[in-house]
Amino acid sequence: MKIAFIVDPLDAFNLKKDSTYAIMCEAAARGHELFALQLDDLAWHKQVVTGQASRLHLTGSAPDWYRLDAATDIPLEQFDAVLMRKDPPFDMEYVYSTYLLELAEKRGARVFNRPQAIRDFNEKMAIARFPQFTAPTLVTRRAGLLREFLGEHADIILKPLDGMGGASVFRVRAGDPNTSVIIETLTNHGARTIMAQRYLPEISNGDKRVLVIGGEPVPFCLARIPQPGETRGNLAAGGTGVARELTARDREIAETLGPQLMAAGLLLVGLDVIGDCLTEVNVTSPTCFQEITQQTGFNVAGMLLNKLENLV
């Protein structure tokens, strides 16, 4: 297959952790042709969406781990698969790219995850589709409602709807003298909508990343354990990743959501589960492939390529 990867700059990849790199390595080992491009390489011209893509060759060694051929404009439908692996922020440029990718789909391009599904499934708000699995949650920009929610639950998490890696996530407890300034900052004085969730003390045992590929759960998750004194388990916030077998509750959540996610065009999803509660549905560029594979021997990238090959 000819596979195009829409990615962040290759020089910024962390080869020890990057899931996109793991997917690239698996694809290359199977003899597939790899191409790389970024969001600013996309264009719509004469009714065709093209990508200024470069053939990507993996060298197998750092720091010069890749080699690129000269870039050429290629209609996206000429690839067998286009993998959207651009990290957030999910800003307007990201949204514009999904419009372009959707136009490419109309000409036959196979894009994973589907651009409409990426737009429809906000990674924080998507849990509202599955209330049977969530902790008490509030989404609002109104300070009064946020204060009422804090008064009801006494210990809550506040976070923006467009963040990643634990950025701007606050734990607020009743009586916290910084409550007002935290709410004002996160909501931009009532101009920005945020999410509040009841604090889940099970975070001390890890914020679990449960990967769902082709509608089926990977049998192992990565529990991201917060550092002492830290609320966030995100690896980007210093958490430690420990691979574990899925619990019965993890599997129940993943197997319930899996078929619905796949039907929406979401080939790869990362569910975040704390204790028994679903807290996020990550659809942009889910990670943790390498950590799970290294600790368990289960080839996560291999499972993804198997699903992709069957679909294409």
Instruction: Give the pLDDT score at 164.
Output: 74
Q: What is the pLDDT of residues 25-69, one digit of tens each?
A: 999 999 999 999 999 999 999 999 999 999 999 998 888 999 999
More confident residue, 60 or 134: 134
Query: CATH homologous superfamily of domain 136-199?
Result: ATP-grasp fold, A domain (3.30.1490.20)
Place of tokens 């506040």: 158
Q: What are the residue numbers of the active site?
A: 124, 159, 209, 224, 232, 272, 280, 282
Q: What is the pLDDT of residues 169-194, one digit of tens each?
A: 999 999 999 999 999 999 999 999 99
Mean pLDDT of the chain: 96
Instruction: Give the pLDDT score at 166.
Output: 75
Rounded to an integer, the average pLDDT of 216-220 is 98
290 pLDDT above the threshold of 90: yes
**Dihedral sign, Cα of residue 112, residue 56, residue 93, residue 63:** positive
3-state secondary structure 225-279: ECCCCCCCCCHHHCCEEEEEECCHHHHHHHHHHHHHHHHCCCCEEEEEEECCEEE
User: Quick one: pLDDT band at residue 221, thresholds 50, 70, 90?
Assistant: very high
Comparing 10-19, 131-140, 155-164, 277-286, the range with the smallest average pLDDT is 155-164
Instruction: Give the pLDDT score at 231.
Output: 76
Q: Where in the chain is the domain with CATH 3.30.1490.20?
A: 136-199
Place of tokens 């996610």: 261
Query: Which tokens is 266 given?
Result: 């979401």
User: Quick one: pLDDT band at residue 106, thresholds 50, 70, 90?
Assistant: very high
Q: What fold does the segment set 2-114 form as a domain?
A: Rossmann fold (3.40.50)
Percent of the chain as helix, strand, coil, to the nearest 5: 35, 30, 35
Query: Which tokens is 18 given?
Result: 């990057």
CA distance 309 to 27: 10
CATH of domain 202-307: 3.30.470.20
* Whole-structure pTM value: 0.94
Instruction: Give the pLDDT score at 165.
Output: 73
Rounded to an integer, the average pLDDT of 64-89 is 96
110 pLDDT above the threshold of 90: yes
Q: What is the pLDDT of residues 222-248, one digit of tens each?
A: 999 998 877 777 777 678 999 999 999
Q: Where in the chain is the domain with CATH 3.40.50.20?
A: 2-114
Query: Which tokens is 145 given?
Result: 């409602």
Query: Which tokens is 134 given?
Result: 């969530």
Q: Where in the chain is the domain with CATH 3.30.470.20?
A: 202-307
Query: Which tokens is 190 given?
Result: 């009532």
Instruction: Give the pLDDT score at 143.
Output: 98
Q: What is the pLDDT of residues 242-276, one digit of tens each?
A: 999 999 999 999 999 999 999 999 999 999 999 99
218 pLDDT above the threshold of 80: yes
User: Quick one: pLDDT band at residue 132, thresholds 50, 70, 90?
Assistant: very high
User: Quick one: pLDDT band at residue 86, thresholds 50, 70, 90?
Assistant: very high
Amino acid symbol at 106: K
Rounded to an integer, the average pLDDT of 132-161 is 97
